[in-house]
Amino acid sequence: MKVVALVSGGKDSCYAMMKAIHYGHEIVALANLMPLDDSVDELDSYMYQTVGHQIIVRHQELGYKETQGDEVEDLFILLREVKKKIPSVTAVSSGAIASDYQRLRVESVCSRLGLVSLAYLWKQDQSLLLQEMVNILNLMFHLCLKVAAMGLDPAKHLGKELAFLTAYLHKLKELYGINVCGEGGEYETLTLDCPLFSNARIVLDEHQVVMHSSDAIAPVGILHPLSFHLENKVDVQYLKSKDNIHEICTQKPGSVYEVHDSLEGCEATYKPLDCRADAMDGIEHKFNISRTNNKGTFSLSFWLQDSCNGLQKDLRIVLGKIESQLLDLGFGWENVLYIHLYIDDMNKFSEANETYVKFIRQEKCPFGVPSRSTVQMPLIESGFSSAYIEVLVSNNKNKKVLHVQSISCWAPSCIGPYSQATLHEGLLHMAGQLGLDPPTMNLCQGGPDVELEQALKNSEAVAKCYNCSISTSAIAFVIYCSKRTSSSERFNIQEKQETILRQMKISHLQETDTYKGLDPLFLYVLVPDLPKRACVEIKPILYVEDGTDTVPEALTERSRSETPSHYWGFKPENWHDSCVQKCLVSGKICAIILHITSELSTKICFDSQPADNVNNGRYSLPKAYMDKISKFCIYLLDKVMTDNDFTWEGIMSLRFYIPESLQMSVQLLQPMFSNALFELSEMSHKKFKNGEEPIFSIVPVIGAGKSASSMDDVVTCELLARKY
């Protein structure tokens, strides 16, 4: 991409440019904001690393909305002018390392102008990053321009090279917890030489030290340059490096423009997408709707019963119906925590996103857009419409959303209307993670197991933002595998996952020295296709106790003394345990996965003929068999929940994964499971709500199972419940 780099003259913006070039981008312009009055040295700004001016009107909340007069609008004006002068510019480079305040505002401006934010220093370990910046070819020469932290003395440290101060900065980190890269305003730098400067280096001739504050604990001093000159470089061979930071300044220098502070015409440059849903084409559509009974957090599922419109139109109608349903409940998209987007053709993924963004975006979700996973499913073959959506809805908006849109080395960006993760009442719902290389946003090469390894690393990077680890806090992993993967490749995927999670867990527990961690559930699902033609997509759910000092208790076995009723003639058998995976956390969260294989279905239907006939490569299963299997699933789910003191009213989500090869449509399957739930309600006198809307979702798949190499379940049940 052609990039305009935001530069302050300091180390971070210069090194961010070098990283952008390393990853194949081209710097075509530099942009700098400066104070109007050069005589004033200290700039009271959270946004820009500069000195000399004080901004009075400033929007200081973490999230940013367009605010006339705010300092962020100066950046908008500047970058808008860059786009006018250089229309080929598509990205912006900045040196943000840890400041959400700065990153979110750069992302907001980029979004308004249709630009991509590049933040290659974001979330990097500051100690390692500082060492990189100081040591890169032993050439980067940084002058300490400002000090403002405990332990830093203007008389001793102003004007010193950063390499000279590195050891001392690390000592101050141990003593006082300062940011060694100066992210907390501890110090600022001026880069006098680096590999970007191909023709000359800057030599400072004269300067003066200005004391801004003589505080005894943390005095603030500024080195004010008075005069300087450029010194030609005789030998430029040192520019060639393994990091490819060469030939970066071979182009003829361009012009320098001064952009004046004016908001005139801003509205004409940015037109937000029409937030109104398109007209529903005047047709009375029939929808299939399901909803769980949990009063705090519940699932809603929607698909069209009369679909023949194609993906884009089906998706528009379904999203419009969800929006209408949320409004009827007194909610909006800001109440949605997570979205499962199932589509029938991944070739139309861009069309799906184009429609999706008309309904779900930041303006409608001031607390953060929901996280999302997108997979292709055999929808049409199983009687669904082209688009099928399940949303997880909360009756409150108390959530912590991570939405990083900048491309960085940290984790894959979410350049779009969905977030990396959403934390709500202790449950961290993470977006589907692909094996993307974060700085390039390309799939890792080397096969499915390499993609899997990178997807786990990406998931761990997200988890660390919430001070947890996927190796110790995960409740469940759903691993989607593309049908393009062979059985041997899927075996390698599972083996790799077990190895990596084990290594992560050992490392994490050594660092934190806390509890042993949870034993997560694993569900492998075989699907037709994934975004970017990926082989693997991981969807973790984590438990993160938010705001309390208690440590989650991992409960693996807990039985009640009551003898469960023998519904439908089923009674406890030893082999039932082989069907069940469960994870219980602190008596609050219950996750269950049931696996009904062909072998187990024969035991369930022991009084019938074996159901292993194959017809043209597709398994056939008599309706009576599936009817009995559906009752067994409900019976066993009820037993596990009852044994652990959970109820059907506490279910947040319940899915039944059915292989398309069974040739059973959703129109046939849904009444079976609904009837089983109704009969259980009648027999048990529990009287849980089971009205017109089912409390579960039917999800068609190619295959599913607890093992990646044998995804041959006849039915797989995935349940998540909680107590309030």
Q: For 131-171, what is each residue's pLDDT tens digit?
A: 998 877 445 667 777 888 889 998 889 888 888 899 999 99
Are 368 and 307 members of one domain?
yes
Token duo for residue 215: 């505080």
Is residue 107 a part of any domain in this protein?
yes
pLDDT tens digit sequence for 629-680: 999 999 999 999 999 999 999 999 999 999 999 999 999 999 999 999 999 9
> Using the 8-state DSSP alphabet, how is residue 44 labeled?
B
Residue at 640 is within a domain: yes
According to the per-residue pLDDT averaged within each range, which of 225-239, 264-278, 675-689, 699-713 is highest?
699-713
Do 447 and 505 belong to one domain? yes
Joined tokens for residue 451: 């993609």
- In this prediction, residue 198 carries a pLDDT of 83
Residue 531, domain CATH: 3.30.1330.40
Kindly state whether residue 245 falls inside one of the protein's structural domains: no
Q: Could you tell me if 716 and 699 are in contact, meaning their C-beta atoms sit under 8 angstroms apart?
A: no
Asked whether residue 278 is domain-assigned, the answer is: no
For residues 550 and 304, the model is more confident at 304
Domain end marker among 397, 421, 450: 397
How far is residue 405 CA from its own chain's centroid?
Answer: 10
Number of H helices, E strands in the chain: 15, 31
- CB proximity list for 327: less than 8 A, separation 6 or greater: none
Which of 637, 550, 539 has its CA nearest to residue 588? 550
Over residues 253-295, the pLDDT tens digits come to: 566 666 655 544 444 343 443 434 444 555 678 899 999 989 9
Residue 404 and residue 386 in one domain: no
- Is the same domain home to 541 and 580? no
Question: Does residue 132 share a domain with residue 31?
Answer: yes
Residue 161: count other Cβ atoms within 10 Å of its Cβ: 15
Give yes or no: residues 36 and 179 share one domain: yes
**Does residue 702 lie in a domain region?**
yes
Residues 6 or more apart whose Cβ sits within 8 Å of residue 620: 611, 613, 614, 662, 663
Shared-domain flag, residues 577 and 703: yes
Together in a domain, 132 and 98: yes
Range of the domain at 195: 2-51+64-232
Average pLDDT over residues 46-54: 40
The count of domains in the chain is 4
176 and 310, same domain (yes or no): no
410 and 343 in a common domain:
no
The whole-angstrom separation of Cα 344 and Cα 313 is: 13
pLDDT of 411 higher than 60? yes
Whether residues 423 and 365 share a domain: the answer is no
- Is 663 within a domain? yes
The answer to whether the CB of 298 falls within 8 A of the CB of 425 is no
Q: Is residue 59 a part of any domain in this protein?
A: no
Q: What is the pLDDT of residues 440-478, one digit of tens each?
A: 999 999 999 999 999 999 999 999 999 999 999 999 999
* Pair 482, 535: CB distance under 8 Å: yes
Give yes or no: residues 448 and 491 share one domain: yes
Q: How far apart are CA 53 and CA 43, in angstroms?
A: 4
Let me know if residue 537 belongs to a domain.
yes
Picking from 232, 248, 266, the residue at the C-terminal end of a domain is 232
The two structure tokens encoding residue 602: 């024969």
Check residue 380 and report its DSSP letter: G
CATH of the domain at 131: 3.90.1490.10
**Cβ neighbours of residue 495 closer than 8 Å, sequence gap 6 or more:** 449
Higher pLDDT, 80 or 366: 80
- Among residues 393, 397, 333, which one has the least CA distance to residue 362? 333
